[in-house]
Structures are given as structure tokens and as C-alpha cells.
């Protein structure tokens, strides 16, 4: 058998190598010319057929060809990779002397600002933040808070029910019920904030979903005077000492007696004012002394302990602080509104 033509093998390899321009094709070419079925491997297998006096010379030539192919492939890998980098730089070239494109700075949502300021104020009074589920049972939302079935207050706080008898909480007072159930040591001073839901008509000052922030203070010897002092301090700290406030009687099933805190409307335009509907005052706080039945429900002796419960409508407060006419706009995703509310950042 004639000796294999090593030069022909190398010539065929190099002809194809010159046309390769990407790593994948280069790897396929390497396997084609050094793999098990490559001309080079087949030539090694056929060495036994080569005359003995030529065998060592042919073997040396084949080994040299294999080394040359591997060397050429390694060089081609570097060449192809470098070319890929050069092509990418050409495609993605950026003039670094050009002015950059700045991204808009974000800003906290008005509701977040209100919640943080309220919670910071309450922390100064010794309150700690607790949280609770938004999907609740009727027990924590109604029954435990002295709102039994068929109580008129259930109509006032009509909410959304889900399968299994659960509901979307209509107030964050559910967190207060869970705290009392856990029986922590006195004094108890906790606040809770979050979304609540009401099945009611949407207008300028009402939504089916909004935010509340509530607090409860339980200890021995708390009186109605403590309640008024606490509410006055909260209202004046949040709205300013010069802003007139007033107290008025209210009804809440879980407090007795119950009061509300009104704030003089800061943007009142008379009868056409959407914030106060022409009344001149806006309710910002609802509160009262914890009802004895609520204490009894969770094993407390109402003759030995008393409590103060209060709640702020943080959605309404955010509307008042930002001056929006319709609080619904606080929940919409129109960045033009939020840029206007935050001074250009959104």
C-alpha cells in the first residue's frame, strides 16, 4: 500500500480553516480533521499496511501533521475570539465623551410618607409596629370586637367575602384583637398599618380599598383624659399646633365611650369643597376607650385594666397632605400625578 499523502491532508484542512469565522464552526472543523473518522486517524490505522522501511517515516509525518493541525486550531481559536470581540466593539461602540442619559430619581409614595411619619410619632410614645393578615375570619373582624351577627355595624363595614367563610378585613382593628388574644404583659402599646376593604361606592373621598393605621394602649388606670391628651398630641404633631381641631361623639362597637377628632379643612372652598363636602371640617381620627366586652372576650378583667384604641385614615391623610381632589388618583399608575405630588420625581 502506498504511503498516505500527509501534505494533501494538511492542505485540505488549511483550505477549510481559512473560511472559518465563528467558534462553533471551528470546533466542528477540529473534530472533522482529528476525530475518529478523520483522514488523519484513518491514516494512522493504515500504518500496518505501509512497507516496514517507510513506516517510521510516515508515522513521524502523521504525528507532525496532527501537531500542526492542533497548533493551527489553537491559533484560529484566538483569532476568531479576538475578531468576535472586535466586531462586538464595532457594533456597540459608544462615544464616552457624549453626555450620559440620567434616569429619573424615585420618590416615596405619599401613603408611605404618611405611614412613616405616623409610626415615627407613635414610636416616640412607646408604640411598636405589629402586622396581621388581610384575609381574615369573621371572628377577628367582627365577633371579637363586639360586632355580633346581624349587628348594624356589619352593614356599615360591608366587605368582600371569599370561599370558606373568610373575608377581606374591613379595618386594621383585627390586629388589635389578635394582640389581645396573645395576652402580652402590660402595658400594651402597639400600632398596625395596612390595606383594608369596604364594599361601598367610590367617590372623591371613599374607595373600596384604602389604608388605615390603628393603635391600642392597654394598661391599668387609663382614663378618658389620657385618650383626649393622646389624640390631641397626635393631631397637632401631624398637622401643626396652629391647625384647629375639635372632638365630637362617635359610635364604634368596640369602644365605649367613642369620639372622633375633626380637623379644620385646609383647602375649603365652601359648599363645593370635595374634601369636606362644604362642612369646613374633616374627620381624621376615630377613637375610644376599649369596650368592656372586648376585654372580657379575651380574658381581661375590665375592672382592673382599661384601654385606648384609635385609628387614622392614612389614605385620606395622604390626600389632604398632597392636596389631590380625588384620592383615587393616589392609587392610579399615572406617573404624571406622582411627579406632580413629589416635585418632579416619581
Cell of 160: 368582600
pLDDT of residue 296: 94
Alpha helices in the chain (DSSP H): 6-17, 23-34, 39-45, 52-91, 110-124, 138-141, 152-156, 173-182, 224-239, 292-297, 314-322, 335-341
Contact 167, 138 (CB under 8 A): yes
Which distant-in-sequence residues (6+ apart) come within 8 Å of 339 by Cβ?
A: 345, 346
Mean pLDDT by 10 residues, the chain (346 residues): 65 75 75 70 67 70 76 78 82 79 79 90 93 91 86 75 88 92 93 88 73 93 93 89 88 91 71 63 89 93 94 84 77 77 57
**Under 8 Å between Cβ of 20 and 80:** yes
pLDDT at residue 49, as a whole number = 66
DSSP secondary structure, 2-34, as one string: PPP-HHHHHHHHHHHHTT--SHHHHHHHHHHHH
Question: Cα–chain-centroid distance for residue 112?
Answer: 12
| pLDDT score at 204 | 60
Q: Which residues of 83-92 are buried (b: 16+ CB within 10 A; e: fewer)?
A: eeeeeeeeee
Specify whether the CB–CB gap between 11 and 45 falls below 8 A.
no
Distance CA 336, CA 344 (A): 9
- Residue 327: the pLDDT is 74
Q: What is the pLDDT of residues 149-199, one digit of tens each?
A: 877 777 667 788 888 889 999 889 999 999 999 999 999 999 999 999 988
Query: Buried (b) or exposed (e) across 294-323, using 16+ Cβ within 10 A?
Result: bbebeebeeeebbbbbbbbbbbbbbbbbbe
What is the CB neighbour count within 10 angstroms for residue 11? 10
pLDDT on residue 346: 44
* pLDDT score, position 47: 66
Alpha-carbon distance 207 to 193, whole Å?
A: 17
Q: Distance between CA atoms of 203 and 170, rounded to whole angstroms?
A: 18
**Per-residue confidence (pLDDT) for residue 222, from 0 to 100:** 93
Beta strands (DSSP E) in 198-294 are 209-219, 245-252, 255-264, 281-290
pLDDT of residue 229: 92
- pLDDT the model gives residue 129: 93
Amino acid at each position: 500500500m502506498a504511503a498516505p499523502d500527509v501534505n494533501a491532508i494538511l492542505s485540505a484542512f488549511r483550505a477549510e480553516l481559512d473560511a472559518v469565522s465563528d467558534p462553533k464552526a471551528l470546533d466542528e472543523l477540529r473534530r472533522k480533521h482529528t476525530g475518529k473518522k478523520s483522514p488523519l486517524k484513518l491514516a494512522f490505522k493504515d500504518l500496518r499496511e505501509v512497507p516496514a522501511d517507510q513506516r517510521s517515516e510516515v508515522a513521524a509525518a502523521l504525528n507532525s501533521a496532527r501537531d500542526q493541525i492542533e497548533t493551527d486550531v489553537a491559533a484560529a481559536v484566538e483569532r476568531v475570539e479576538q475578531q468576535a470581540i472586535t466586531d462586538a466593539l464595532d457594533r456597540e461602540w459608544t462615544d464616552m465623551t457624549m453626555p450620559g442619559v440620567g434616569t429619573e430619581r424615585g420618590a416615596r409614595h405619599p401613603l408611605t410618607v404618611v405611614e412613616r411619619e405616623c409610626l415615627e410619632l407613635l414610636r416616640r410614645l412607646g408604640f411598636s409596629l405589629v402586622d396581621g393578615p388581610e384575609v381574615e375570619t369573621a371572628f377577628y373582624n367582627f365577633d371579637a370586637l363586639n360586632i355580633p351577627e346581624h349587628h348594624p355595624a356589619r352593614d356599615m363595614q360591608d366587605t368582600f367575602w371569599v370561599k370558606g367563610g373568610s373575608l377581606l378585613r374591613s379595618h386594621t382593628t383585627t390586629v388589635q384583637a389578635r394582640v389581645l388574644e396573645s395576652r402580652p404583659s402590660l402595658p400594651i402599646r402597639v400600632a398596625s398599618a395596612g390595606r383594608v376593604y369596604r364594599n361601598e361606592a367610590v367617590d372623591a373621598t371613599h374607595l373600596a380599598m384604602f389604608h388605615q393605621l390603628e393603635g391600642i394602649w392597654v394598661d391599668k388606670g387609663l382614663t378618658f383624659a389620657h385618650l383626649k391628651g393622646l389624640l390631641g398630641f397626635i393631631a397637632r404633631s401631624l398637622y401643626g399646633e396652629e391647625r384647629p381641631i375639635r372632638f365630637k361623639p362617635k359610635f364604634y362597637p368596640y369602644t365605649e365611650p367613642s369620639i372622633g377628632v375633626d380637623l379644620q379643612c385646609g383647602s375649603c372652598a365652601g359648599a363645593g369643597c370635595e374634601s369636606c363636602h362644604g362642612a369646613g371640617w374633616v374627620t381624621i381620627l376615630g377613637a375610644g376607650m376599649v369596650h368592656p366586652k372586648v376585654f372580657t372576650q379575651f380574658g381581661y378583667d375590665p375592672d382592673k385594666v382599661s384601654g385606648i384604641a384609635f385609628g387614622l385614615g392614612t389614605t385620606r391623610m395622604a390626600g389632604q397632605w398632597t392636596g389631590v381632589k380625588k384620592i383615587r388618583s393616589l392609587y392610579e399608575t399615572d406617573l404624571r400625578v406622582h411627579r406632580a405630588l413629589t416635585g418632579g420625581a416619581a
